[in-house]
A and B are shown apart, each in its own frame.
Chain A
Amino acid sequence: MDYVIEMLHITKKFPGIIANDDITIQLKKGEIHALLGENGAGKSTLMSVLFGLYQPEEGVIKVKGREVKIKGPLDANALGIGMVHQHFKLVHNFTVLQNIVLGMETVKKGLLKMDDARKRVMELSEKYNMFIDPDALISDITVGMQQRVEILKMLYRDNEIMIFDEPTAVLTPQEIDELMAIMKNLTDEGKSILFITHKLNEIKAVADRCSVLRRGKYIGTVDVKTTSKDAMSEMMVGRKVNLTVEKAPAKPGDVVLKVDGLCVDAKQEGHTKKLVSDVSFQVRRGEIVCIAGIDGNGQTELVQAITGIRPANSGTVQVNGEDVTRRSIRYKNTHGMAHIPEDRHKHGLVLDYNLAYNGVLQQYFEPEFQNHGFLKEDAIYSYADKLIADFDIRSGEGAATITRSMSGGNQQKVIVAREISRKHDLLLAVQPTRGLDVGAIEYIHSELVKQRDSGSAILLVSLELDEVMNLSDRILVIFEGHIVAQLDPKEVTVQELGLYMAGSKREGKADET
């Protein structure tokens, strides 16, 4: 067998946890090898070991049959290993070309020689069918293009082994298809790809083999063609998973949230751009309304204007018939609004507080948790224990765990647990499953449906098309700050939805019902 990379019996421990426990992964030349696992399963740790960011306690790494010691990213690069990170590592005010050559500049007598570099980059881009404008600024090009730049960066460095860390999270369906084609192209040229993901569709679409990790342990490697999605997800989660959300038809009741003519302007110098432009819609009790759109089309600002984190420039927001546009965030929090924020680190958690303190972030002042201004520690901690038990939050030191030290998925669970457990009529869920694994997604989805059935109005903002299609009762598509379509998930196809999201198709003004 001809393996380009072998990671044999890798064990990496952190205090209190074994992140990788005797994991063996073998990457064949010219294959796309998927690495599948829940959050916290140890995928990132394993890749960090491959990149030399961590040294494993046990196990060896072999590149092309030769045992190597990788002490850092430079060593990895010298061995031909490259990586596209989930969050791109690009300099935004540099051009595409500058970014590609960064760190590998061709220099003559101390002067930059960009011409040779330009020629090579253009050759590469033609060879692999990845067309780019070498002189465009990174900040001006789309996320899909930025990803191409990352891939070209690896090609420019002659990397033979490429690692893609959840590359599709930020792409539209059309862009995902293109990426898949590019990946196939790369392997046809003899490159080998390690593809980290937890999306089974994509594995089915491109991967040859798939290795599954679960809770730091190696579960097995399967041939993708002969293994069903259900079987793979079962391997990943360790039990049967229901991939489609089971829900009864919605029974919408009274209007809970009514947004009318909402506008948010960008506060940039020189010009005003409307980030959210004249948006009106309603969400009723007992329904899930989803705002679908590609990242950066105003959904963040829309939700922030509803919650009050960012002021609205015009328009009104009503909750239960009461105009709350100018009310304080505290008032909204205590009058029926719960909010799972988009950015869990920026807004959702005080990372240096422990789990218990984060659990009462909007409730610490309630009589349940304080007495004459003094915190009731016992009540706060036992409340946290209840959240931990109800939502299966895993942490090293229970309620006393500093949230910064928890895994992203579990941090998200803390927020979801806190917001769902709070008394609310309206739940704003912004990408509630971002970065979560199938098991947790399944749980959060069923929890959202349960909330809906118990009479909550739910406004969901999601970039994941599967989530949009599965969960919502109505879809509002947002494009460049406008609601461009109102769709029924039962009557629309994913492709059609993608076209609306990309702005190439639009309906007349979404009619209000």
Chain B
Amino acid sequence: MKLKNKRNYVGVLSSVFAIFIGLLVGLVVLILCNPSQALPGFMTILTGAFTHGMRGVGQVFYYATPIILTGLSVGFAFKTGVFNIGTPGQFIMGAFGAVYAGIMWDRLGGLHWAAALLASIALGAFWGLIPGLLKAYFNVNVVISCIMMNYIGMYLVNWTVRSNKALFNTLRNESKDVAATAVIPKMGLDKVFAGSSVNGGIVIAIAVVILIYILLNKTTFGYELKAVGYNQDAGKYAGINEKRNVVAAMMIAGAIAGLAGGLLYLAGTGKHIEIKDVLAAEGFTGISVALLGLSHPIGVLFSGLFIAYLTAGGFYLQLFEFSTEIIDIIVAVIIYFSAFALIVRSILGKIQEKRAKKEEMKGGGGQE
């Protein structure tokens, strides 16, 4: 059973390698922009998140919460053989569900936030369900329908918020504040990470990560999902209902992305649905997170934390008159290089081989 982990270990190494190259390129960019400030700037990227001690750590968790979940959404769908590029749409639909419930269902008391989160999950799931159904019964390419659903979702939310007086804050051109009862409880995290925006959302996100990990790896349902994801024909041969599988996978992926929206907009940090014609960035970041995390739930958790960590550190780059976009460049390079994972794998494979050879010479051979 131990052997099963060997492959993952190489995968993790290749991600680490990609991160290393990405940071190196970031350093080069910094040097090109302003050589004299490059080194302190680079140190800021690496350690900036800790500038304010525990508060900074809390901030990392706060940033990480939505992108862990959108990353999980993409990664989960990917494991089941569909490329869910619809996270921005599912995310904003989830956000809308949460905001709507957060403003309108204000008589639920202590359960209000949970109900609002359920609303975000339901809307996200619904937004994932549609491309799933289209794929299963009309063989519509998921990527295309997802992109369409992104725009439909964005405009639908904009329109609904603006035309609904109870939701719309005309002065600021955004949604109103949610009720205080709808804000996610801090779960004691505000004491540990005093002064930061962290809240119970990160706990929920981690719980969902674990849940999805168990679902994928320990259950018959996960067995089916992955079997169809790896090889649809073999899935069919095995008698697995591949249509139902695609629908379920997209629904779950949508639900996770929707929850991401709910958690961010109910964080009580003054986040409102702004009426802008822009797709939710958290959705697309999810694709990066999933790639870097090798689509594995636990990998996604760490890659989400890592990208949030860089983003938090990058914020302080402004002190050195660098623009924060450099962080985006670094992240992009990292993703670019994690796509080279295969090459890295073969390089690492060769190194292992050499090492094995040396050991063999010492130990006097012996095969299999």
Contact = CB atoms under 8 A, between A and B. Distances in A.
Interface of A: 15-18, 307, 309, 328-334, 339, 341, 346-354, 357, 361-362, 364-365, 370, 373-375, 377, 381, 396-398, 400, 402
Contact of A348 (B4, B237, B239): B237
Contact of B239 (A330, A341, A396): A330
Given A374-B218, A374-B219, A361 B234 contact: yes
A343 to B, nearest CB: 8
Nearest to B1: A400
Nearest to B228: A350
Contact of A346 (B7, B230, B234): B234
Contacts of B1: 381, 400
A350 B230 contact: yes
Given A15-B352, A397-B3, A351 B223 contact: no
A373 B219 contact: yes
A422 to B, nearest CB: 12
B136 to A, nearest CB: 15
Contacts of B235: 350
B231 interface: yes
A400 B218 contact: no
A16 B220 contact: no
B340 interface: no
Contacts of A373: 219-221
A396 B368 contact: yes
B368 A17 contact: yes
Contacts of B238: 329, 333, 361-362
Given A330-B239, A353-B227, A347 B234 contact: yes
A361 B237 CA distance: 9
10 contacts: A17-B367, A307-B237, A333-B238, A346-B234, A349-B234, A351-B230, A352-B230, A362-B238, A375-B223, A402-B7
B220 A353 contact: no
A16 B368 contact: yes
B367 A16 contact: yes
A421 to B, nearest CB: 15
Interface residues of B, number: 29
Given A18-B367, A397-B3, A309 B221 contact: no
Nearest to B360: A13
Nearest to B219: A373
Nearest to B5: A400
A350 B239 contact: no
B223 A339 contact: no
B223 A347 contact: no
Nearest to A328: B239
B367 A351 contact: no
Residue picked from A17, A351, A364, most chain B C-beta under 10 Å: A364
Contacts of A362: 238-239
Interface string B221-233: 1011011001101
Contacts of A357: 223, 227
B220 A370 contact: yes
Given A350-B227, A373-B221, 18 more contacts: A15-B349, A16-B367, A17-B368, A339-B237, A341-B237, A347-B236, A347-B237, A348-B237, A349-B231, A350-B235, A354-B4, A362-B239, A364-B224, A373-B219, A373-B220, A374-B220, A375-B219, A402-B7
B353 interface: yes
A351 B236 contact: no
Tell me the dominant secondary structure on chain A's binding face: mixed
B356 interface: yes
Contacts of B230: 350-353
B239 A329 contact: yes
Interface in B316-350: 349
A364 B231 contact: no
Contacts of B234: 346-350, 361
B235 to A, nearest CB: 7
Nearest to B238: A361
B239 A400 contact: no
A346 B239 contact: no
A398 B2 CA distance: 12
B220 A15 contact: no
B368 A329 contact: no
Contacts of B367: 16-18
Contacts of A339: 237
A413 B334 CA distance: 42
B3 A329 contact: no
A357 B353 CA distance: 28
Contacts of A400: 1, 3-4
A437 to B, nearest CB: 19
Contact of B220 (A17, A347, A365): A365
A352 B11 CA distance: 15
Nearest to A352: B230
A15 B219 contact: no
Contacts of B218: 374-375, 377
B223 A329 contact: no
Contacts of B224: 364
A18 B356 CA distance: 13
B231 A350 contact: yes
A339 B223 CA distance: 21
B220 A375 contact: yes
Interface in B189-243: 218-221, 223-224, 226-227, 230-231, 233-241
B166 to A, nearest CB: 42
A133 B235 CA distance: 42
A351 B231 contact: yes
Nearest to B6: A397
Contacts of B356: 15
Q: Give 5 closest A-B pairs by Cβ, nearest first.
A: A330-B239, A329-B239, A347-B237, A352-B230, A361-B238
A189 to B, nearest CB: 43
A449 B96 CA distance: 65
Contacts of A375: 218-220, 223
A309 B239 CA distance: 9
A338 to B, nearest CB: 12
B4 to A, nearest CB: 5
A293 to B, nearest CB: 22
Contacts of B236: 309, 329, 347
Contact of A333 (B219, B227, B239, B241): B239
A347 to B, nearest CB: 4
A54 B368 CA distance: 21
Of A328, A329, A357, which is in contact with the most chain B CB atoms at under 10 Å from its CB?
A329
Given A309-B237, A329-B236, A361 B220 contact: no
Nearest to B214: A374
Interface centre among A347, A350, A377, A398 (most CB of B within 10 A): A350
A18 B240 CA distance: 39
A347 B233 contact: yes
B157 to A, nearest CB: 35
Given A309-B236, A347-B233, A374-B218, A361 B3 contact: no
A326 to B, nearest CB: 14
Nearest to A363: B238
Nearest to B234: A350
Nearest to A310: B236
B237 A329 contact: yes
Contacts of A349: 231, 234
Give the interface centre of B1, B224, B239, B241 by most chain A CB atoms within 10 Å: B239
Nearest to A331: B239
Contacts of A334: 239
B345 to A, nearest CB: 13
Contacts of A398: 3
A347 B231 CA distance: 8
Contacts of B3: 397-398, 400
